[in-house]
């Protein structure tokens, strides 16, 4: 029996290790076909610290604490119990084998048993969680399960492997204890076997029986492990297994060395790893890809992202598009790109070789392109399929829209890998990136694909044509006359300084008030603009505006994929701000806040940007603004706040919260308002649900599934709040429209309203002043 066991172990190990090594090389080669990205290896020491912090601290997993704890023990067992695998090899040849030096070291033995038991509990918990969240128990035909669309057999196989290995480890420890007891070995005590010695007795087996049992269990343990190696080697797209190895690299090479989530700024459009200078765009090669039009146009980090996806579905569970029955699932998108990249990779790798071996004579020839006919049908089909194109899915098939991601295209020629409906459903809210435990950068990849569609293919939703035209001709999304940018300030009881007229340089004032397009032209946002201006004036903050010298920051153009238009808008803004000596800028729009803070530095514009909720909160803390409590007999104050306490809730703007981690300032400011009762929505802060306006969706019709804004508004109304506080004009438009729909169908009370945090603060400040007429801003001209 021992000879048979030894032969099985040796053969399985040779096959397993050889196949695994081959697949490692295959994956590495396939990742290398991506475009260069020289930004990923800076600050190696910092990156290493970040890796260990995320790995050992499980900081990216902490969003689901129970899962994080269970996964941590399973993860640690993979390393610690490796030594038990080495021991098992020795036990196949000698049942008494123990590792030199540490084999009978008490600390090591305690660690092995503790990790084994905790890993056993951990994997059972993970199995239970996967079953509890199985699509068969979820709403909307299973779509509400984060595991919807995941490859189930692979998950089951990995779970069974871990369970089998851990049970073998514990069984071996038990058998080792009783073999030692039978032979009177000094180390066969409960000190060395702290938990397995209590499992029972081995009296039913003789010494020979115990030795044979150890050989059998050790062999089974090794065969389970080698079967796993062979299986994952034959499945290079098995993310649920390969993430064990690839996650370390994906985390180390993440965008920010210090560990910040890969949100905020979009990366500049690049060719061959270098940012494109649109002033010299004519110097680019004619075939230079602007964005991603083929899978090989992704950077190598993008290809690594796809391969690392573990199909856990956290991104999918948080995605506002997926949760409103649209075809976009960040997880399924990554899976489709991964499968397509691996299917096409053999041809791409052949193209990447400096020489290609001509088939007819076997001699290396320079510049010879490999013939597609030399590859199998799957490679040829993958090469010929467009990355973006109709996939044949029917939008009426909801909730089953997996056809939009079928990497084999249902066997039909001409179908795309990713459907345009998938690409344009994204709001770029960043929920997927924030949730991903292995730091995949979904938003960057989606925008890169949009860039190619806009700049090269001119294939984009028709509504964006009007947006681009308005931005190009009038420097604002609404196409309003730029001369009307200061109309919001008419009839204010104080003068609003304008740079170029009242002040020559921004060095003469404390803040530049960047009003933004919405704040200047959108009637609801004008109320916020006026409120902020009045509050700054009341607090004695010296500020000025650019007036018609201000233009759109370019946010909607960039997120719609029109990088050229973004540059056209942003470059002049940076030049104006630098020329005027801008240092501190206050903004009311979360999108302006993000662009000015994170993207203008890419163009040489470095300023201190504060959101109006941050600045106003600071002014309240410094007692420069003092909110006054409503009178004791107030029952229906104009601002809706009564002495009894008005319930309010706050909606986190994605581009203020997730993209820039500004969560506390608005809440602290609302908490400083007397006479309010704050109620948090279930999905808040990092898990906040999008309003639906980001990613240029503000200017696109929402024709698929249900409306994102009504979903979010319903959640706000469910808190019982009478005031839905916001901190972004985009959110205000979307939430107001959603509330109107709720009120129209009777789902929300008529007295509920959407207001900016600044308006609520202004109402509280005015209680302490002499009564003043509230002058409404003039409506925008038609």
| 643: pLDDT strictly greater than 60 | no
How far is it, in rounded angstroms, from Cα 293 to Cα 615?
43
What is the mean pLDDT of the segment spanning 489-505? 91
Q: What is the pTM of this model?
A: 0.91
Q: What is the 3-state secondary structure (H, E, C) of 98-153?
A: CCCCCCCCHHHHHHHHHHHHHHHHHHHHHHHHHHHCCHHHCCHHHCCCCCCCCCHH
Structure tokens at 656: 């203020």
| 641: pLDDT strictly greater than 60 | no
Residue pair 696/582 in contact (Cβ under 8 Å)? The answer is no
| 779: pLDDT strictly greater than 60 | no
Residue ranges of alpha helices (H) inside 353-479 are: 377-384, 420-423, 431-435, 442-455, 462-474
Residue 778 has a pLDDT of: 53
How far lies 194's CA from each of 82, 108, 118, 183, 582, in Å?
20, 11, 14, 19, 67
Residue pair 561/454 in contact (Cβ under 8 Å)? The answer is yes
Q: How confident is the model at residue 368 (pLDDT cuts 50, 70, 90)?
A: low
How far lies 355's CA from each of 36, 350, 373, in Å?
20, 9, 18
State pLDDT tens for residues 693-721.
Answer: 999 999 999 999 999 999 999 999 999 99
Residue 71 has a pLDDT of: 94
What is the mean pLDDT of the segment spanning 72-82? 88
**Main-chain phi, psi angles of 563, to 5 degrees:** -65, -35
| 609: pLDDT strictly greater than 60 | yes
How far is it, in rounded angstroms, from Cα 740 to Cα 759?
20
| Contacts of 735-742 spanning 24+ positions with Cβ under 8 A | 735/651, 735/691, 735/709, 736/524, 737/709, 738/691, 738/707, 738/709, 738/710, 738/711, 738/712, 738/713, 738/714, 739/713, 741/707, 741/710, 741/713, 742/710, 742/713, 742/714, 742/717
Torsion sign (Cα): 229, 235, 240, 244: positive
Q: How confident is the model at residue 391 (pLDDT cuts 50, 70, 90)?
A: confident
Instruction: State the residue for tokens 């200078």.
Output: 277
Residue 411 has a pLDDT of: 46
Residue 410 has a pLDDT of: 46
Residue 246 has a pLDDT of: 95
Residue 406 has a pLDDT of: 67
3-state DSSP assignment of residue 680: coil
Q: Which of the 8 DSSP states describes residue 554?
A: S
User: Which of 179-193, 454-468, 621-635, 653-667 is predicted least confidently?
Assistant: 621-635
| 359: pLDDT strictly greater than 70 | no
User: How many residues make up the chain in this entry?
Assistant: 782
3-state DSSP assignment of residue 777: coil
Smallest CA-to-CA distance from 338 within 298, 365, 375 is with 298
Q: What percent of the chain has pLDDT over 90?
A: 74
Structure tokens at 448: 């890169």
3-state DSSP assignment of residue 525: helix
Q: How confident is the model at residue 208 (pLDDT cuts 50, 70, 90)?
A: confident
3-state DSSP assignment of residue 251: helix
Mean per-residue pLDDT over the chain, rounded:
89
How far is it, in rounded angstroms, from Cα 182 to Cα 185?
8
Structure tokens at 510: 């404390």
Smallest CA-to-CA distance from 655 within 196, 186, 265 is with 265
Q: Which of the 8 DSSP states describes residue 499?
A: B
What is the mean pLDDT of the segment spanning 641-656? 83
Q: How confident is the model at residue 62 (pLDDT cuts 50, 70, 90)?
A: confident
User: Which of 201-205, 511-515, 623-627 is predicted least confidently?
Assistant: 201-205
User: Which of 175-189, 438-452, 597-611, 714-728 is predicted least confidently?
Assistant: 175-189
Residue 277 has a pLDDT of: 81
State pLDDT tens for residues 310-323.
Answer: 999 999 999 999 99
What is the mean pLDDT of the segment spanning 418-422? 94
Smallest CA-to-CA distance from 298 within 39, 33, 563, 559 is with 33
| 514: pLDDT strictly greater than 80 | yes
What is the mean pLDDT of the segment spanning 419-429? 95
Residue 365 has a pLDDT of: 52
Q: What percent of the chain has pLDDT over 70?
A: 91
State pLDDT tens for residues 116-138.
Answer: 999 999 999 999 999 999 998 88
How far is it, in rounded angstroms, from Cα 732 to Cα 736?
6
CB atoms within 10 A of CB 339: 18
Smallest CA-to-CA distance from 96 within 183, 196, 169 is with 183
Residue 768 has a pLDDT of: 62
How far is it, in rounded angstroms, from Cα 680 to Cα 765?
24
Structure tokens at 98: 């123990």
| Contacts of 206-209 spanning 24+ positions with Cβ under 8 A | 206/182, 207/179, 207/182, 207/183
3-state DSSP assignment of residue 743: helix
Residue 782 has a pLDDT of: 45
| 419: pLDDT strictly greater than 80 | yes
Q: How confident is the model at residue 358 (pLDDT cuts 50, 70, 90)?
A: very low
How far is it, in rounded angstroms, from Cα 737 to Cα 716?
13
What is the mean pLDDT of the segment spanning 582-598? 97
101 Cα distance to chain centroid? 45
How far is it, in rounded angstroms, from Cα 662 to Cα 114?
41
State pLDDT tens for residues 525-577.
Answer: 999 999 999 999 999 999 999 999 999 999 999 999 999 999 999 999 999 99
How far is it, in rounded angstroms, from Cα 587 to Cα 622?
20
């Amino acid at each position: 029996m021992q000879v048979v066991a030894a032969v099985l172990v040796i053969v399985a190990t040779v096959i397993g290790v050889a196949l695994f090594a081959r697949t490692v090389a295959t994956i590495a080669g396939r990742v290398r076909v991506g475009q260069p990205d020289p930004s990923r290896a800076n600050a190696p020491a910092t990156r290493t610290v970040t890796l260990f912090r995320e790995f050992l601290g499980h900081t990216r997993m902490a969003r689901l604490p129970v899962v994080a704890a269970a996964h941590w023990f399973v993860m640690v067992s993979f390393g610690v119990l490796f030594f038990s695998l080495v021991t098992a090899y020795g036990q196949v040849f000698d049942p008494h084998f123990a590792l030199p030096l540490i084999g009978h070291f008490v600390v090591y033995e305690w660690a092995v048993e503790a990790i084994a038991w905790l890993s056993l509990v951990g994997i059972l918990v993970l199995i239970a969680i996967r079953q509890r969240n199985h699509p068969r128990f979820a709403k909307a035909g299973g779509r509400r399960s984060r595991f919807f669309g995941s490859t189930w057999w692979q998950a089951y196989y990995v779970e069974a492997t871990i369970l089998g290995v851990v049970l073998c480890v514990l069984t071996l420890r038990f058998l080792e204890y009783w073999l030692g007891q039978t032979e009177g070995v000094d180390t066969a005590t409960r000190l060395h076997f702290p938990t397995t010695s209590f499992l029972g007795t081995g009296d039913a087996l003789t010494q020979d029986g115990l030795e044979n049992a150890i050989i059998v269990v050790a062999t089974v343990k090794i065969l389970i492990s080698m079967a796993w190696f062979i299986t994952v080697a034959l499945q290079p797209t098995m993310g649920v297994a390969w993430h064990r190895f690839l996650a370390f690299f994906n985390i180390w090479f993440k965008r920010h060395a210090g560990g910040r989530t890969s949100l905020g700024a979009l990366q500049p459009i690049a060719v061959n790893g270098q940012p494109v200078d649109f002033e010299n765009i004519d110097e680019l090669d004619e075939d230079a890809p602007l964005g991603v039009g083929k899978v090989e146009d992704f950077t190598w980090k993008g290809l690594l992202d796809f391969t690392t996806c573990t199909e856990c579905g956290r991104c999918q569970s948080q995605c506002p598009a997926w949760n409103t029955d649209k075809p976009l699932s960040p997880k399924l998108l990554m899976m489709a790109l991964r499968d397509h990249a691996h299917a096409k990779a053999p041809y791409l790798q052949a193209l990447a070789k400096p020489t290609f071996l001509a088939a007819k004579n076997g001699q290396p020839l320079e510049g010879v392109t490999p013939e597609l006919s030399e590859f199998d049908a799957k490679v040829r089909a993958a090469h010929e399929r467009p990355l973006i194109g109709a996939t044949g899915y029917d939008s009426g098939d909801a909730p089953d829209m997996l056809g939009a991601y079928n990497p084999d295209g249902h066997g039909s020629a001409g179908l795309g890998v990713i459907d345009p409906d998938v690409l344009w459903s994204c709001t770029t809210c960043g929920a997927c990136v924030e949730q991903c435990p292995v730091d995949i950068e979904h938003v960057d990849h989606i925008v890169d694909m949009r860039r190619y569609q806009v700049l090269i293919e001119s294939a984009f939703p028709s509504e964006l044509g009007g947006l681009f035209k308005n931005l190009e001709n009038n420097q604002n999304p609404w196409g309003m006359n730029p001369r009307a940018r200061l109309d919001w300030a008419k009839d204010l009881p104080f003068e609003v300084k304008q740079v170029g007229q009242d002040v020559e340089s921004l060095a003469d004032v404390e803040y530049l008030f960047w009003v933004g397009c919405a704040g200047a032209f959108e009637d609801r946002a004008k109320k916020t603009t006026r409120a902020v201006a009045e509050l700054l004036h009341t607090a004695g903050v010296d500020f000025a505006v650019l007036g018609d010298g201000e233009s759109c920051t370019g946010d909607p153009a960039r997120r719609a994929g029109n990088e050229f238009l973004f540059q056209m808008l942003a470059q002049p803004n940076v030049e104006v701000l630098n020329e005027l000596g801008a240092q501190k800028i206050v903004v009311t729009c979360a999108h302006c806040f993000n662009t000015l803070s994170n993207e203008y530095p890419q163009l040489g514009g470095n300023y201190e940007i504060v959101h109006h909720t941050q600045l106003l909160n600071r002014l309240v803390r410094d007692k420069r603004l003092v909110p006054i409590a409503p009178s004791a007999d107030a029952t229906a104050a104009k601002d809706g706040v009564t002495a009894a306490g008005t319930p309010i809730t706050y909606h986190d703007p994605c581009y203020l919260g997730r993209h820039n981690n500004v969560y506390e300032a608005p809440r602290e400011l609302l908490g400083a308002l007397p006479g309010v009762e704050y109620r948090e929505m279930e999905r808040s802060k990092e898990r906040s649900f999008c309003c639906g306006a980001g990613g240029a969706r503000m200017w696109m019709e929402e024709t698929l599934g249900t409306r994102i804004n009504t979903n979010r508004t319903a959640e706000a109304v469910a808190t019982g709040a009478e005031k839905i506080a916001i901190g972004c004009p985009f959110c205000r438009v979307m939430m107001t429209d959603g509330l109107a729909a709720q009120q129209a169908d009777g789902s929300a009370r008529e007295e509920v309203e959407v207001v900016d945090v600044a308006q609520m603060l202004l109402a509280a400040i005015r209680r302490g002043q002499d009564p003043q007429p509230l002058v409404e801003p003039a409506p925008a001209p038609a």
